[in-house]
Amino acid sequence: MEMALLLLIFLISAILGYKIIKKVPTLLHTPLMSGTNAISGVTILGSLVSTAFSLMFSSKILGFIAIVLATVNLVGGFVVTDRMLKMFKNK
Amino acid sequence: MSEIYIVASTILAILVLFGIKLMSSPKTAVRGNRLSAISMLVAVILVLGANDIIQLPLLWIAIILGSMIGYALALKVPMIKMPQMVALYNGLGGAASALVALVEILEATSQQNYFVLFTSRLALIIGGITFSGSIIAAAKLDKRISQRPAVLPHHKIISNMMIIVLILLLILSFSLNNSLVVFIILIVALTFGVLFAMRIGGADMPIIISLLNSLSGLAAAICGFTVFEPLLVSVGAIVGASGLILTNNMCVAMNRSLSNVLTGGTTMCASKFSSNSKDEVRMEEKAETETKKSPAEILKRAKKVIIVPGYGMAVSQAQFYVKNLTEVLEKSGTEVKFAIHPVAGRMPGHMNVLLAEADIPYEKLCEMDDINDQFAETDVAIVIGACDVTNPAANTAEGTPIYGMPVLKTGEAKNVIVCNLDTNPGYSGVENSLYTMPNVQLILGNAADTIKELINNLEG
């Protein structure tokens, strides 16, 4: 049941995402890319759960590294996108 | 999963989508990006709370450490290096997904069903490929390794073999509860990523960066299947879709198919279409002995000017002088526009960012399809550090790498002033036939110096 639900979520999100992103003009493709790249740091959610519930010490270490890397991706991505977007000025 | 949790996740996913929607206009984009960022922060707290792990210091130490590193990197990076920065972040996200999958596999309890078995290994593979591929792409963009495509003998066969090996290992690892097999899978995936990024040449970088971006989203989504995290699945899918659109855009802009780029039917070596040195000397003489009218004189009389910026402009950091040139021309009543080729720069939309950095208003930046018919009624087109995207040979020179690529019709302008470093071909290795047209003047040298001098002559 959960499996089917997740697949459904995947499909709906992909379709909605596709529709919305199609409308972003070329002008903003670099910030769009670095913005969505930041959002792909969402994998932090998986790394938090996985690290917290792991039992082996080695898994804790791997999980810790995963959280750090995902956070770098997330925070860094949002900050560079913000920097870029602030430069786009009208007359 | 509690119902409240599902509702909260749905709301957050919608907020992220809305944030991306706001990114479709420069006026609202800053807000959109911040909305996505805040949604992510709430998502982290929601997941920590829902799983009752919010009090674990280990998690917070990792979050704080990662935030500090990410923030420090983001503040330092210059705009011209944005493509390699995005590639690097992208690789780290992929690595995180692969590590989560690895932990899930190593910690596996005995009651895993085939769905979890399969998705965990798939996340490991895609995350691994994303990581090593992005690191190689970032290194190429940063010129830490050669930008030329590096092709092994039988490269294609090796790559295809690796895919088959990966599939076999994946099936094998279901029945063998053996961590060695899992590590072999990871090593093969990492190697595959390296091989796949190695053979991409500099000109194809925009395509490959987009594709890797898509893969990192896909890796996150598959990770979400493994740990049953609906929000991760949803957001990962959105990013995957976004990357695919951009990849497709880039392929269309270069008139190439994705498979053609990936299998390396791509950038050839410049030697294939090497320039004839006699021609070059003749062209340089022509540029020097041009006594009809100096570029500054032509510009003084111009009513309509289109500037065609390329990556060479960014390399010499000439965009700030270009901004000055624009101001000088506009002061005397000249209309100035910019023609942006879709693959100008090293990632989709890169040139727009570089010009925005120099405070050039974005409504002056025109896409190729909108401006291409306007060259014919333009007095002067100024090419600055752009080669392949202005090359008329793309329409005629069959069998060359750029044949069929839509290019800017720069040569149709009444006068063309080319401010490039030299007359060498661009990444494609194809001679630019624009240089020898009668209405074209070459001012060779560093673009920043050339533009400075042009401004002095205009004001003098």
Structure confidence at residue B460 (pLDDT): 76
pLDDT at B449 over 70: yes
Mean pLDDT, residues B145-160: 86
Q: Which residues of B87-118 are buried (b: 16+ CB within 10 A; e: fewer)?
A: bbbbbbbbbbbbbbbbbbbbbeeeeeeeebbb
Q: What percent of chain B has pLDDT over 90?
A: 68
Looking at the DSSP bridge assignments, the partners of residue B418 are B383, B442
Residue B246 contacts A where some CB pair is shorter than 8 Å: yes
Residue A61 contacts B where some CB pair is shorter than 8 Å: no
Looking at the DSSP bridge assignments, the partners of residue B99 are none
| Cβ-Cβ contacts under 8 Å for B457 (sequence gap 6 or more) | B294, B295, B296
HSE-up of A10 (CA within 13 Å, CB side)?
19
Identify the residue whose tokens are 């996913």: B13
Structure confidence at residue B307 (pLDDT): 97
Q: How far is CA B121 from CA B196, B225, B319, in A?
A: 20, 11, 47
Test A27 with B92 for CB contact under 8 angstroms: no
Mean pLDDT, residues B33-50: 95
Test B96 with A23 for CB contact under 8 angstroms: no
Test A16 with B216 for CB contact under 8 angstroms: no
Mean pLDDT, residues B11-37: 95
Structure confidence at residue B1 (pLDDT): 62
Of B355, B336, B356, B418, nearest in space to B383 by CA: B418
Structure confidence at residue B274 (pLDDT): 39
Test B20 with A44 for CB contact under 8 angstroms: no
Test A32 with B349 for CB contact under 8 angstroms: yes
Say how far apart CA B456 and CA B445 lie, in whole Å: 16
The burial of B368, by beta-carbon neighbours within 10 Å (0-12 exposed, 13-18 middle, 19 or more buried), is given as buried
Q: Is B388 a catalytic residue?
A: yes
Residues of A in contact with B337 (CB under 8 A): none
pLDDT at B282 over 60: no
Q: Which residue has the higher pLDDT, B242 or B147?
A: B242
Structure confidence at residue B292 (pLDDT): 66
Mean pLDDT, residues B290-310: 87
The reply to whether the predicted model has a pTM over 0.85 is yes
Q: Looking at B142, B369, B388, B449, which residue is catalytic?
A: B388
Mean pLDDT, residues B101-120: 86
Number of residues assigned to chain B: 460
Say how far apart CA B306 and CA B235 lie, in whole Å: 41
Say how far apart CA B460 and CA B441 lie, in whole Å: 20
Express each pLDDT in B350-359 by its tens digit: 999 999 999 9
Say how far apart CA B314 and CA B385 lie, in whole Å: 8
Residue A23 contacts B where some CB pair is shorter than 8 Å: yes
Residues of B in contact with A29 (CB under 8 A): 246, 249, 347-349, 352
B198's tokens? 């190695």
Express each pLDDT in B175-193 by its tens digit: 876 788 999 999 999 999 9
Express each pLDDT in B395-430 by its tens digit: 988 888 788 889 999 999 999 999 999 998 887 788
Give the DSSP letter of residue A41: G
Structure confidence at residue B398 (pLDDT): 84
Of B105, B6, B93, B211, nearest in space to A8 by CA: B6
pLDDT at B280 over 60: no
List phi, psi (to 5°) of B304: -125, 125
pLDDT at B278 over 60: no
Nearest CA in chain A to B345: A30
Please tell me which of the candidates B236, B245, B367 has its beta carbon nearest to residue A21: B245
Model confidence at B146, pLDDT cuts 50, 70, 90, reads: confident
Total CB pairs under 8 A between chain A and B: 367
Model confidence at B271, pLDDT cuts 50, 70, 90, reads: very low
Q: Could you read off the pLDDT tens digit of each residue along chain A, which spans 91 residues? A: 688 999 999 999 999 999 999 999 989 999 999 999 999 999 999 999 999 999 999 999 999 999 999 999 999 999 999 999 999 988 6
Long-range contacts of B363-368 (CB under 8 A, 24+ apart): B363/A90, B363/A91, B364/B326, B364/B336, B364/B337, B364/B338, B365/A27, B365/B338, B365/B340, B366/B337, B366/B338, B366/B339, B366/B340, B367/A26, B367/A27, B367/B340, B367/B342, B368/B339, B368/B340, B368/B341, B368/B342, B368/B406, B368/B408
Express each pLDDT in B379-391 by its tens digit: 999 999 999 999 9
Mind telling me how many Å the CA of A1 is from chain B's nearest CA? 12
Q: What percent of chain B has pLDDT over 70?
A: 93
Model confidence at B52, pLDDT cuts 50, 70, 90, reads: very high
Mean pLDDT, residues B121-133: 97
